[in-house]
Structure 1
Amino acid sequence: MPSQELQPSDYRMRKLIGTLGLSLPIILPIVKWEFLSSISHYYYATLSSLLFIIILSAFGLFLISYKGYVKDTETEQVSDDFLTNIGGFAALIVVFIPTICYGSASVTIDNLCVSENYPLFGHNNTTLSTIHLVSAGMFILCMGWISKYKFTRGKKALHNKIYKHCGNVVFISVALLITGLVLEKFDINFIINEYYVYIFETIAVFAFGTSWLVKGEAIENFTDFKNRMLN
């Protein structure tokens, strides 16, 4: 692919997306002070709900705004812009169509579900929950695809290995997550019990968050900062 110049804002956007990815699974349980069965269930906790909406909305808007490289018509079938738009809109759907209230592994949220005092767009509708789940899957898979097949067009061999490994981790995490959901449908206990969705979501989000940070040259920025401090 021919070399293309990126604006400083592109690198900042990458670092922002990466930072959001790494912070999301950490901030929510700290604020709630409780692990839930999935990241999406933090929508139903008071303060973590606000952070969930803000972070996921920022994710969506940043991805839609991000253009990346112009598509090389000779070697590429799908552009960066198309993939980030799909991922961005999927992230926004995750916000506006939250997961089902029940199944959070939290007594507090279970009581809220029984009272049907849902926050904002909260619900107990299985159809809406399926839309949410599919959208979340599309969002994560787009991030994995970008990491493995788009970011690896650069000339830095070490960075390309990181992107490929991050993409593979995303795909494996999604595959294990789907396996767990299928086993659950057949009432077969999964190895990691009620928290397997949160665990695999977190692994996937950490992976693509790392990939975006590296692509945003966060390593180079840190190295430059360290050198300036030492000199």
Structure 2
Amino acid sequence: MTHQELQNSDYRIRKLIGILGLCLPFILIFAKGELLASISHYYYSTLSSLFFIIILSAFGLFLISYKGYKKDKTNETISDDLITNIGGLAALIVVFIPTRCMDSTSMAIDLICKSENYPLFGHNNMLKSGIHLGSAAVFILSMGWMSRYKFTRDVNDSNNKLYRICGLLVFISVGLIVLLIVLEKLGLDTKTMFSNYYVFIFETTAVIPFGISWLVKGKVLDDVKRLKAKFL
């Protein structure tokens, strides 16, 4: 692709998205104090729901604000801006249409479900849960797409191998979640085979790689080198 300069704000957004991706699962576990069936179930616990809403909303707004490179009409069919807009809108849908309350693996949340005293937009509706799940997949896959196909356009970038690996890990993680959910629907007891937390585990193995790739693409390594040179 032809050389293009990015605005400094785009590099800052890349770093922020990377930091959020790396921190999200660990902040939620710390806030709740226990592991739940999925990242989305932390919506139903008071403190962790605050972090969930703030971080996912920040993802959405940062992605919508991000412009990236202009589309190279010679070999690209979709622009950075369109992909991140899609991912950002999907992240906001994840916030405003949360997953269903049931099956969180938390006794405290199960009590909330039974009482139907849901917080904010909470629910126990299967259709809404399906919309949430699809939106979460679109959000994560758009991040993986950026890592695998958009960040590697510069053939001279020494980090291209890292971006490809990160993108591949995102795709594999989402694929495994879909596969195991389908197997569950077919009657296979995947919770016994892969634990009750496979969705959370594979969500984590998706968000951490895309967090790393966005951080590196945001030139965080250059920032580290500058700080090292300044103090050493």
**Residue equivalent to 2:166:** 166
TM-score by length of 2: 0.97
Gaps spanning 5+ residues in structure 1: where? none
Distance 1:84 1:145 in 2: 10
Greater Cα shift, 97-106 or 183-192? 183-192
Distance 2:225 2:37 in 1: 38
Distance 2:28 2:203 in 1: 13
Gaps spanning 5+ residues in structure 2: where? none
Distance 1:81 1:153 in 2: 15
Q: How far 1:158 moved relative to its partner?
A: 3.0
The residue type paired with residue 199 of structure 2 is V
**Residue equivalent to 1:70:** 70
The residue type paired with residue 200 of structure 1 is F
- Within the candidate set 199, 221, 224, 1:197 is matched to 199
The residue type paired with residue 196 of structure 1 is Y
* 1:125-140 matched pairs, under 5 angstroms: 125-140=125-140
Q: How far 1:153 moved relative to its partner?
A: 1.2
Distance 2:224 2:157 in 1: 19
The residue type paired with residue 197 of structure 2 is Y
1:199-229 Cα offsets, whole Å, 9 max, x none, are 0000000010001000000111112211211
Asked if residue 80 in structure 1 is aligned to residue 73 in structure 2, the reply is no
Determine helix, strand or coil for the equivalent of 1:153.
coil
Q: How far 1:53 moved relative to its partner?
A: 0.3
Greater Cα shift, 3-12 or 90-99? 3-12
Q: Percent of aligned pairs with the same residue? A: 63
Distance 2:131 2:148 in 1: 26
Asked if residue 96 in structure 1 is aligned to residue 92 in structure 2, the reply is no
Greater Cα shift, 176-185 or 188-197? 188-197
Distance 2:221 2:215 in 1: 8
Which runs of structure 1 show a deviation greater than 4 angstroms over 4 or more consecutive aligned residues? Answer: none
Q: How far 1:5 moved relative to its partner?
A: 0.8
Q: How far 1:187 moved relative to its partner?
A: 2.6
**Residue equivalent to 1:148:** 148
1:71-106 Cα offsets, whole Å, 9 max, x none, are 011110000000000000000000000000000000
Q: How far 1:9 moved relative to its partner?
A: 1.1
The residue type paired with residue 144 of structure 1 is G
Distance 1:30 1:158 in 2: 35
**Residue equivalent to 2:29:** 29
The residue type paired with residue 160 of structure 2 is N
The residue type paired with residue 159 of structure 1 is N
Q: How far 1:34 moved relative to its partner?
A: 0.5
Greater Cα shift, 90-99 or 174-183? 174-183
1:11-67 Cα offsets, whole Å, 9 max, x none, are 111000000111100100101000000000000000100110000000000000000
Distance 1:186 1:41 in 2: 23
Asked if residue 56 in structure 1 is aligned to residue 43 in structure 2, the reply is no
Determine helix, strand or coil for the equivalent of 1:132.
helix
| Cα RMSD for the two superposed structures | 0.9
Distance 2:157 2:74 in 1: 23
Distance 1:98 1:2 in 2: 41
Distance 1:137 1:18 in 2: 18
The residue type paired with residue 165 of structure 2 is H
**Residue equivalent to 1:106:** 106
Distance 1:151 1:192 in 2: 33
1:107-134 Cα offsets, whole Å, 9 max, x none, are 0000010000000000000000000000
1:152-204 Cα offsets, whole Å, 9 max, x none, are 01244431111000000000001111111011112312232210000000000
